[in-house]
């Protein structure tokens, strides 16, 4: 335990073992905590000022001086500066440490001033209930989830009270006022050393317990931030729906688990990409592929689709598989229409730049599929299996034969109409009857741009 406290006091915590992006996320959380602490401090000083203004003053009018207003004013100015700095920039460790010490110095100064303000012996302030505020200031540092500042606050409070106790004992008749009689202690200005040591021990024990809580809470915070960062990273390598399914799974995902669903499968293919990848420089090929995917993927996701996988220049997307819906075919056709428009715009942009326009074909089929995890325990993948998946891929060659940008089965088209799909007025739909070569295929529907 001592080694743990030593490591945390020196800053050699598990933070240094984390990736930079996770540390940055934790730093952001700590900066937000500092802003919260600043507002709480501002609230506390306002409460102190209000209580002082409303409370009756029992000391005489000719008392030496009343330091409370000056101390509160000084602390208010410091708190306002701290709040402004916390909002506008990252607080350095020395400023945070100074803030902790300033809290305790203010409190101890106020307690010390009571015997002057009320014209009593120094032992008078040892019975001030204001000491209880040290626990507020110690707990306040827990908001940052940094054990170092909690320990600094607790040790400063214990040291401050020890100094006040020493001053009371060695000032005036302090030594003569020391007693072992608890009743006499409570009824007079006598000093019971055991009672004062109990206060110091209570401060240290509460600080130590709170420090242990902060260490545990910090680890939970780090794990939480790390998992949130991992989930964000997952959403870049998987579709958001799959990433959410993985991160929110109630149990361990095992291979071979799946569900039967009705879904639409969309296959996108960049025509002639294999030849182009052999003829063009690598950077130009990758740039073209990235531009193509950056245009198509958002359209699929915007219409409720999920990217199942990237197949080189191909994209396999599903509607109603990862997230079950009753309008999967309608969503798929809306995406196909929107992608046709985007394909035309992309071709015009490339021609304007003196580049060769690229042809993208979209094919789709719908029906019963299996959606689940395949692979082994060391490498899993969520995917779709079934006749519609194979059919959507095989239809690509029929799209070429029909010289169509988009092609789907008649079944999918009729399902889409039944699910509320309304064809765009800029699209002409015609039937291609009895196209052979695909098992079970009777009719196809070709979507072509109207003249």
What is the per-residue pLDDT across 292-315, written as a single tens digit (0 to 9) for each?
899 999 999 999 898 888 887 889
Closest to 359 (Cα-Cα) out of 371, 344, 372: 344
Q: Is the pLDDT of residue 441 over 50?
A: no
Q: Stretch 418-435: mean pLDDT, rounded? A: 67
Tokens of 86: 């916390």
Q: Write down the mean pLDDT value for the chain.
A: 79
* Between 425 and 422, residue with greater pLDDT: 422
Q: How far is CA 82 from CA 39, 109, 137, 274, in A?
A: 9, 20, 15, 61
String of DSSP letters for 42-56: HHHHHHHHHHHHHS-
For 364-382, the pLDDT digits (tens) are 999 998 887 776 766 666 7
* Between 41 and 221, residue with greater pLDDT: 41
Strand 360-376 and strand 406-409: the pairing is parallel
* Between 265 and 187, residue with greater pLDDT: 265
Using DSSP, state whether 444 is helix, strand or coil.
strand
Q: How crowded is residue 150: how many other Cβ atoms within 10 Å of its Cβ?
A: 28
* Between 76 and 59, residue with greater pLDDT: 76
Residues 370-399 as b/e (b if ≥16 CB within 10 A, e otherwise) read: bbbbeeeeeebebbbebebbebbbbbbebb
- Residue 9 pLDDT level (bands cut at 50, 70, 90): very low
Q: How crowded is residue 175: how many other Cβ atoms within 10 Å of its Cβ?
A: 10
Counting every residue, how long is the chain?
Answer: 451
What does the pLDDT read at residue 4? 47
What does the pLDDT read at residue 156? 95
Tokens of 361: 């074909």
What does the pLDDT read at residue 163? 94
What does the pLDDT read at residue 201? 95
Q: Is the pLDDT of residue 64 over 60?
A: no
* Between 14 and 90, residue with greater pLDDT: 90
* C-beta of residue 364 within 8 angstroms of C-beta of residue 392: yes
Strand 427-433 and strand 360-376: the pairing is unpaired
- Report pTM: 0.53
Most confident segment among 24-28, 216-220, 266-270: 266-270
* Between 286 and 31, residue with greater pLDDT: 286
> What share of the chain has pLDDT > 90, as a percent?
19
Q: Is the pLDDT of residue 54 over 80?
A: no
* Between 375 and 78, residue with greater pLDDT: 78
What does the pLDDT read at residue 447? 65
Phi/psi for 158 (5° steps) reads -65, -40
Closest to 99 (Cα-Cα) out of 55, 51, 34: 34
How far is residue 444 CA from its own chain's centroid?
Answer: 47
């Amino acid at each position: 335990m001592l080694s743990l406290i030593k490591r945390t006091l020196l800053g050699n915590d598990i933070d240094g073992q984390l990736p930079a992006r996770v540390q940055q996320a934790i730093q952001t959380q700590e900066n937000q905590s500092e802003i919260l602490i600043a507002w709480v401090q501002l609230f506390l000083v306002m409460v102190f000022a209000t209580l002082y203004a409303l409370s009756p003053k029992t000391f005489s009018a000719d008392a030496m001086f009343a330091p409370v207003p000056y101390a509160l004013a000084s602390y208010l100015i410091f708190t306002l500066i701290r709040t402004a700095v916390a909002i506008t920039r990252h607080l350095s460790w020395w400023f945070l440490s100074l803030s902790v010490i300033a809290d305790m110095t203010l409190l101890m100064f106020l307690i010390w001033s009571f015997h002057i303000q009320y014209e009593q012996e120094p032992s008078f302030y040892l019975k001030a209930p204001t000491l209880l505020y040290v626990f507020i200031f110690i707990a306040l540092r827990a908001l940052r989830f940094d054990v170092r500042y909690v320990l600094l606050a607790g040790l400063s409070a214990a040291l401050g009270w020890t100094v006040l106790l020493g001053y009371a004992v060695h000032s005036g008749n302090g030594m003569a006022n020391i007693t072992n009689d608890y009743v006499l202690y409570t009824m007079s200005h006598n000093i019971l050393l055991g009672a004062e040591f109990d206060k110091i021990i209570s401060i240290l024990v509460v600080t130590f317990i709170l420090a242990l809580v902060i260490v545990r809470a910090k680890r939970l915070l780090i794990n939480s931030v790390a998992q949130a960062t991992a989930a964000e990273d997952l959403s870049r390598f998987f579709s958001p729906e799959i990433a959410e399914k993985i991160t929110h799974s109630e149990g361990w995902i095992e291979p071979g688990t799946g569900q039967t669903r009705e879904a639409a499968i969309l296959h996108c293919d960049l025509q002639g990409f294999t030849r182009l990848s052999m003829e063009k420089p690598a950077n130009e090929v990758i740039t073209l592929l990235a531009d193509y995917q950056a245009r198509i993927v958002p359209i699929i996701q915007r219409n409720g689709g999920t990217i199942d996988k990237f197949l080189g220049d191909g994209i396999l997307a599903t509607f109603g598989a990862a997230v079950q819906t009753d309008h999967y075919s309608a969503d798929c056709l809306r995406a196909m229409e929107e992608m046709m428009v985007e394909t035309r715009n992309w071709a015009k942009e490339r021609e304007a730049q003196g580049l060769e326009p690229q042809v993208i074909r979209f094919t789709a089929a719908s029906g019963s599929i299996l959606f689940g995890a395949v692979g082994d325990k060391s490498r899993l993948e969520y995917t779709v299996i079934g006749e519609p998946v194979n059919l959507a891929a095989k239809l690509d060659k029929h799209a070429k034969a029909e010289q169509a940008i988009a092609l789907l089965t008649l079944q999918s088209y009729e399902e889409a109409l039944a699910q509320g799909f309304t064809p765009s007025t800029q699209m002409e739909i015609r039937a291609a009857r009895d196209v052979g070569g695909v098992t079970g295929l009777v009719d196809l529907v070709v979507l072509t741009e109207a003249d």
